[in-house]
Amino acid sequence: MLQQFTWGAFLLASFVLSFLWYCFVLLVFYRREVFGLFGDGLSERLPHRWEKGLESLEENAGGGLGEGRLVSSDSLMGRSAMPEGMAVLGMGQLSFGGNPDGRYEQVGLVADVIQELKLIFARLEKEAGSKLDFFRMLEKVKEDYGKIGAHPNVGAINEFIAAHVPFHLSSEELENLWY
Protein backbone atom coordinates (compact mmCIF):
# COMPACT_ATOMS: atom_id res chain seq x y z
CA MET A 1 0.00 0.00 0.00
CA LEU A 2 2.86 2.45 0.70
CA GLN A 3 4.07 1.92 -2.84
CA GLN A 4 1.01 3.75 -4.17
CA PHE A 5 2.15 7.09 -2.61
CA THR A 6 4.55 9.21 -4.64
CA TRP A 7 7.27 11.41 -3.22
CA GLY A 8 5.37 14.52 -4.21
CA ALA A 9 2.23 13.41 -2.38
CA PHE A 10 4.31 12.50 0.68
CA LEU A 11 6.07 15.89 0.77
CA LEU A 12 2.80 17.76 0.24
CA ALA A 13 1.13 15.85 3.10
CA SER A 14 4.10 16.45 5.44
CA PHE A 15 4.13 20.20 4.64
CA VAL A 16 0.37 20.51 5.21
CA LEU A 17 0.49 18.56 8.48
CA SER A 18 3.53 20.56 9.70
CA PHE A 19 1.78 23.83 8.81
CA LEU A 20 -1.35 22.76 10.73
CA TRP A 21 0.78 21.71 13.72
CA TYR A 22 2.61 25.06 13.92
CA CYS A 23 -0.69 26.96 13.52
CA PHE A 24 -2.09 24.97 16.44
CA VAL A 25 0.97 25.72 18.61
CA LEU A 26 0.85 29.44 17.74
CA LEU A 27 -2.85 29.73 18.50
CA VAL A 28 -2.69 27.81 21.76
CA PHE A 29 0.51 29.18 23.28
CA TYR A 30 0.97 32.58 21.58
CA ARG A 31 -2.64 33.64 21.07
CA ARG A 32 -2.27 37.21 22.41
CA GLU A 33 0.84 37.93 20.38
CA VAL A 34 -0.69 36.56 17.16
CA PHE A 35 -3.96 38.48 17.56
CA GLY A 36 -2.00 41.56 18.63
CA LEU A 37 -0.28 41.52 15.24
CA PHE A 38 -3.65 41.64 13.51
CA GLY A 39 -4.89 44.48 15.74
CA ASP A 40 -7.79 42.71 17.43
CA GLY A 41 -6.89 44.27 20.78
CA LEU A 42 -6.66 40.99 22.64
CA SER A 43 -3.06 41.76 23.48
CA GLU A 44 -2.85 44.56 26.07
CA ARG A 45 0.35 46.15 27.17
CA LEU A 46 0.95 45.57 30.86
CA PRO A 47 1.28 48.77 32.95
CA HIS A 48 4.70 49.59 34.36
CA ARG A 49 5.22 50.79 37.90
CA TRP A 50 7.41 53.72 36.87
CA GLU A 51 4.74 55.04 34.50
CA LYS A 52 2.29 55.48 37.35
CA GLY A 53 4.82 57.43 39.44
CA LEU A 54 5.27 54.76 42.09
CA GLU A 55 9.05 54.64 41.78
CA SER A 56 11.64 57.07 40.67
CA LEU A 57 15.16 55.77 40.19
CA GLU A 58 16.75 59.23 40.47
CA GLU A 59 15.18 59.97 43.87
CA ASN A 60 15.85 56.47 45.14
CA ALA A 61 19.53 56.65 44.22
CA GLY A 62 20.05 59.33 46.87
CA GLY A 63 19.33 56.80 49.59
CA GLY A 64 16.29 58.50 51.09
CA LEU A 65 12.86 57.14 51.69
CA GLY A 66 9.97 58.59 49.77
CA GLU A 67 6.31 57.83 49.24
CA GLY A 68 6.40 54.05 49.65
CA ARG A 69 9.80 53.63 48.00
CA LEU A 70 12.60 51.50 49.39
CA VAL A 71 16.18 52.60 49.84
CA SER A 72 18.38 50.94 47.24
CA SER A 73 20.54 49.24 49.89
CA ASP A 74 17.48 47.78 51.67
CA SER A 75 15.90 44.63 50.46
CA LEU A 76 12.21 43.95 50.54
CA MET A 77 12.50 42.31 53.95
CA GLY A 78 14.77 45.01 55.44
CA ARG A 79 18.43 45.11 56.26
CA SER A 80 20.07 41.84 57.18
CA ALA A 81 21.18 41.42 60.78
CA MET A 82 24.61 40.29 61.84
CA PRO A 83 24.72 36.72 63.19
CA GLU A 84 24.69 36.40 66.96
CA GLY A 85 28.10 36.93 68.49
CA MET A 86 29.56 38.85 65.55
CA ALA A 87 30.53 42.52 65.52
CA VAL A 88 32.40 44.87 63.22
CA LEU A 89 35.71 45.93 64.79
CA GLY A 90 38.53 48.19 63.78
CA MET A 91 42.02 46.83 63.30
CA GLY A 92 43.27 48.24 66.61
CA GLN A 93 40.41 46.65 68.55
CA LEU A 94 41.19 43.10 67.45
CA SER A 95 43.17 41.08 69.95
CA PHE A 96 43.39 37.47 71.06
CA GLY A 97 42.93 36.75 74.75
CA GLY A 98 44.33 34.00 76.84
CA ASN A 99 48.01 33.90 75.93
CA PRO A 100 49.08 31.11 78.30
CA ASP A 101 52.70 31.13 77.20
CA GLY A 102 53.08 34.91 77.62
CA ARG A 103 53.42 35.67 73.91
CA TYR A 104 51.92 38.89 72.67
CA GLU A 105 50.65 39.73 69.23
CA GLN A 106 53.06 38.37 66.65
CA VAL A 107 52.49 41.16 64.13
CA GLY A 108 51.37 44.74 64.54
CA LEU A 109 51.79 47.78 66.72
CA VAL A 110 52.06 45.96 70.04
CA ALA A 111 54.70 43.56 68.75
CA ASP A 112 56.75 46.46 67.40
CA VAL A 113 56.60 48.31 70.73
CA ILE A 114 57.56 45.13 72.62
CA GLN A 115 60.56 44.71 70.33
CA GLU A 116 61.62 48.32 70.92
CA LEU A 117 61.28 47.81 74.67
CA LYS A 118 63.45 44.69 74.51
CA LEU A 119 66.14 46.74 72.81
CA ILE A 120 65.82 49.45 75.48
CA PHE A 121 66.10 46.88 78.28
CA ALA A 122 69.17 45.31 76.67
CA ARG A 123 70.79 48.73 76.37
CA LEU A 124 69.92 49.60 80.00
CA GLU A 125 71.54 46.38 81.22
CA LYS A 126 74.59 46.88 79.03
CA GLU A 127 75.16 50.51 80.09
CA ALA A 128 73.79 50.14 83.66
CA GLY A 129 71.12 52.71 82.94
CA SER A 130 68.84 54.31 85.47
CA LYS A 131 65.17 55.11 85.61
CA LEU A 132 65.83 58.53 84.05
CA ASP A 133 67.64 56.88 81.10
CA PHE A 134 64.67 54.56 80.64
CA PHE A 135 62.23 57.49 80.48
CA ARG A 136 64.45 59.30 77.94
CA MET A 137 64.63 56.24 75.69
CA LEU A 138 60.91 55.70 76.07
CA GLU A 139 60.24 59.23 74.75
CA LYS A 140 61.61 58.14 71.35
CA VAL A 141 59.31 55.10 71.38
CA LYS A 142 56.34 57.37 72.21
CA GLU A 143 57.24 59.60 69.26
CA ASP A 144 57.49 56.65 66.90
CA TYR A 145 54.34 54.91 68.16
CA GLY A 146 52.11 57.78 69.24
CA LYS A 147 48.85 55.82 69.00
CA ILE A 148 49.94 53.17 71.49
CA GLY A 149 48.48 55.05 74.51
CA ALA A 150 44.93 54.46 73.24
CA HIS A 151 45.56 50.86 72.15
CA PRO A 152 43.40 48.25 73.93
CA ASN A 153 46.48 46.12 74.73
CA VAL A 154 48.44 48.86 76.47
CA GLY A 155 47.89 46.94 79.72
CA ALA A 156 49.80 43.96 78.31
CA ILE A 157 52.66 46.27 77.33
CA ASN A 158 52.73 47.74 80.84
CA GLU A 159 52.83 44.22 82.32
CA PHE A 160 55.76 43.40 80.05
CA ILE A 161 57.57 46.57 81.20
CA ALA A 162 56.91 45.83 84.88
CA ALA A 163 58.23 42.28 84.48
CA HIS A 164 61.41 43.16 82.57
CA VAL A 165 62.53 46.60 83.73
CA PRO A 166 65.70 46.37 85.91
CA PHE A 167 64.26 48.74 88.57
CA HIS A 168 60.94 49.30 90.32
CA LEU A 169 58.16 51.32 88.67
CA SER A 170 55.08 52.30 90.65
CA SER A 171 51.59 51.66 89.32
CA GLU A 172 51.09 55.42 88.86
CA GLU A 173 54.25 55.63 86.73
CA LEU A 174 53.06 52.70 84.62
CA GLU A 175 49.66 54.28 84.03
CA ASN A 176 51.13 57.65 83.02
CA LEU A 177 53.92 56.09 80.96
CA TRP A 178 52.30 56.56 77.55
CA TYR A 179 50.78 60.02 78.10
Angstrom distance (rounded) from CA 89 to CA 86: 9
The model carries a pTM of 0.39
Q: pLDDT higher for 28 or 169?
A: 28
Nearest to 110 by CA among 146, 157, 147: 157
Whether the CA torsion 58, 64, 70, 73 is positive or negative: it is positive
Assess if residue 156 is contained within a domain: yes
DSSP-based three-state secondary structure for 175: helix
Domain residue limits at 17 = 8-38
Assess if residue 136 is contained within a domain: yes
Assess if residue 163 is contained within a domain: yes
Question: Residue 102 — pLDDT band, cuts 50, 70, 90?
Answer: very low
Q: What is the largest CA-CA distance in the chain?
A: 123
Residue 120, CB half-sphere, CA atoms under 13 Å: how many?
Answer: 24
Assess if residue 62 is contained within a domain: no
The tally of domains found in the chain comes to 2
Q: pLDDT higher for 128 or 50?
A: 128
Count of beta carbons in the 10 Å neighbourhood of residue 153: 23
Question: Residue 45 — pLDDT band, cuts 50, 70, 90?
Answer: low
- Judged against a pLDDT cut of 90, whether residue 25 lies above it is answered with yes
- Judged against a pLDDT cut of 70, whether residue 127 lies above it is answered with yes
- Judged against a pLDDT cut of 70, whether residue 36 lies above it is answered with yes
Assess if residue 81 is contained within a domain: no
Q: What is the mean pLDDT of residues 44-60?
A: 58
Assess if residue 122 is contained within a domain: yes
Assess if residue 170 is contained within a domain: yes
Question: Is the distance from CB of 71 to CB of 63 less than 8 angstroms?
Answer: yes
DSSP-based three-state secondary structure for 32: helix
Assess if residue 67 is contained within a domain: no
